[in-house]
A and B are shown apart, each in its own frame.
Chain A
């Protein structure tokens, strides 16, 4: 079966711009989470959605937002990009929550210049 699909794979944006990343979870998975991975901070939790509702949010500024659609697909948006937002953004899906283990996508590599 198809895995978690993230688009695009690579993005280059300029400071001050905004960006939208997309994630299609495994069919039937209703929980979608987003993580930011950087060399300095490692893997940090952004937010988690279940059935279109945000259940949890990490310690990121309000410039980071997300949503989930009725088909479980999810998007995250970052507004007013800063250089420090350069990172690998990973999406993960699960049937109902992380205790079952998450399946991660290959990520979107965002570079802010």
Chain B
């Protein structure tokens, strides 16, 4: 079945450091890929998405590129801020099929001033 594997962390960085959170997936066909973020005590927020190979999703300084050849969708940000501290989830969804998001386990990011 479909699955998503992401580095579980926790990840601790200093403000303005470079962030990479790795995400790889296993799925048949061509799923859509997402990054969601969860702040303490809240639900998930869509951070960015990509629906086909080589698409780059970007939002709030975060970027991720859909790499079909390596089945990856790594999240990057050039300079993190304290306000980026949260849990980040990578997820996939099959287009035109089951409306079920398959999530990774989540990566907790803490950014220190």
Contact = CB atoms under 8 A, between A and B. Distances in A.
A42 B99 contact: no
Given A98-B93, A99-B32, A45 B43 contact: no
Interface in A79-101: 90, 92, 97-99, 101
B43 A48 contact: no
Contacts of B103: 42-43
Interface in B63-101: 89, 93, 95, 98-101
B55 to A, nearest CB: 12
Nearest to B31: A99
* Chain A interface residue bracket vs B: 20 to 34
A104 B106 contact: no
A42 B100 CA distance: 14
A105 B41 CA distance: 11
A58 B100 contact: yes
B46 interface: yes
A90 B101 contact: no
B43 A105 contact: yes
Most buried by A among B45, B99, B106: B99
Interface of A: 4, 6, 31, 33, 35, 42-43, 45, 48, 50, 55-56, 58, 90, 92, 97-99, 101-107
7 contacts: A33-B99, A42-B103, A43-B103, A58-B100, A98-B32, A98-B101, A102-B44
